[in-house]
Structure 1
């Protein structure tokens, strides 16, 4: 069986950057229920630990939609499809990657850099009270964070660093409403100390992955600063280039090495 990796983006431009970075030319297109399409590529790559036999790696790229609800549904659909059509026992994928662009907290993740999730956090899943914000765990049910194994983040960060790509490891926040004021940015930073970026899909991907027991990590390139909404300061093209560069450095073998034992 090949090592199977699912990479989930929100929009087609992000998927294009990822597939270009990985060099996925001429992929197979697989229609899924609900009008979704998986972009599949299978390749043989050198064995990470050395040796003569190559490693077969299957990479599926999914454009999952914008927001945690849409992407949780689409990722769950892809996981269910892989479970039903795959052969053998166990999880349908060895690793799931939530990938795309993001807003970065300026003091931690400048525009053009890459963030790698130490945890994937639903930043606004909870309740406002007169005494402040309570995460859903503090209300006595649910969860608002998925920790990412250090083996995943460490390997990714090492490869990005060796390639000279500026990057930061830390909590990546998932929000349903993108931050547009300095006040909200400060509140999020206080609520989740060490947060490096915010986006809209990671937690949805992580929830679907957790339902199938598949490890997950979030990798994003920073297109703008979290804070005052100023579209003239956005650098989406630069961020998409950084995203492609990140996956060019990481390649497929890196994710095989990240596979849990």
Structure 2
């Protein structure tokens, strides 16, 4: 099996890269190796939706993966039972910015009547589902293997501007029924849907989405637990291509 693992910045993938055997570095951003018999391609995309989409498309074309894993840190929305260091697994990725902002509120692309993707007869608007079977496997394996921290699955929201305001955080959580905020996931899911590749997303909680206060963040713990979660999943995947 070939697995592409995508993360925005190098630090988010360092523990995963260290877990690879027979690792080869093709650049400072691409590392290839094995976990069990699975070929794992680790790629740093850099921050944001455009970078994530470009690197996702290039990686799928180059390596023809059986599955794509989108990973890194993220912010948990308030009152979701997630705390710093916990792990969130996406069931669906939602674009938070694509649409039109009116005086009386925001309309997403479904409300506008303009899909972001047409694939066969299926229309995709702001929402892109994760692969159900791999997501279920990831959730179970991570829940069983990650002790001392909560593992929760739910919808994720991808934004162009991180939320640093508590009132907006509550509004976004309630409007979209989401548990986690990030800046890349929906773009990765979008490309995978377009190209027909299964995708799963796993994030470590570095902070609670609220008034911005980085002294209350713990990015190192989020990276550590998220990386462990991804490695647990990689070890469990079918080794037959």
TM-score, normalised to structure 1, is 0.82
Match among 98, 111, 121 for residue 70 of structure 2: 98
Q: State the partner residue of 1:171.
A: 155
Distance 2:232 2:5 in 1: 16
Q: CA RMSD in A?
A: 1.8
| Pairs within 5 Å for 1:40-59 | 40-42=32-34, 45=36, 56-59=37-40
2:190 aligned with 1:207 = yes
Distance 1:14 1:26 in 2: 20
Q: Aligned pairs, how many? A: 228
SS of the residue corresponding to residue 161 of structure 2 reads coil
Per-residue deviation, 1:26? 4.5
Per-residue deviation, 1:8? 0.2
Match among 18, 22, 27 for residue 23 of structure 2: 27
Residues 18 and 243 of structure 1 are in contact (CA less than 8 Å); yes or no, is this contact kept in structure 2? no
Q: State the partner residue of 2:109.
A: 136
SS of the residue corresponding to residue 223 of structure 2 reads helix
For residues 59-117 of structure 1, what are the alpha-carbon distances to aligned partners after superposition, in whole Å with 9 as ceiling and x for unaligned?
A: 100001100111111221222223xxxxxxxxx11100110000011321211100000
Q: State the partner residue of 1:63.
A: 44
SS of the residue corresponding to residue 238 of structure 2 reads helix
2:141 aligned with 1:155 = no
Per-residue deviation, 1:202? 0.5
Q: List runs of 5+ in structure 2 lacking aligned partners.
A: 117-124
Q: State the partner residue of 2:14.
A: 16
CA separation of 1:248 and 1:5: change in aligned 2, threshold 3 A: closer
Distance 1:25 1:11 in 2: 21
Residues 160 and 166 of structure 1 are in contact (CA less than 8 Å); yes or no, is this contact kept in structure 2? no
Max radius of gyration: which structure?
1
For residues 188-221 of structure 1, what are the alpha-carbon distances to aligned partners after superposition, in whole Å with 9 as ceiling and x for unaligned?
A: 112201x111011101211222222101111000
Distance 1:161 1:7 in 2: 20
Residues 21 and 34 of structure 2 are in contact (CA less than 8 Å); yes or no, is this contact kept in structure 1? no
Per-residue deviation, 1:158? 0.9
TM-score, normalised to structure 2, is 0.88
Residues 126 and 135 of structure 1 are in contact (CA less than 8 Å); yes or no, is this contact kept in structure 2? yes
Per-residue deviation, 1:185? 0.4
Distance 1:124 1:17 in 2: 32
CA separation of 1:169 and 1:61: change in aligned 2, threshold 3 A: same
Residues 120 and 174 of structure 1 are in contact (CA less than 8 Å); yes or no, is this contact kept in structure 2? yes
SS of the residue corresponding to residue 256 of structure 1 reads coil
| Pairs within 5 Å for 1:104-143 | 104-108=76-80, 109-141=82-114, 142=116, 143=125
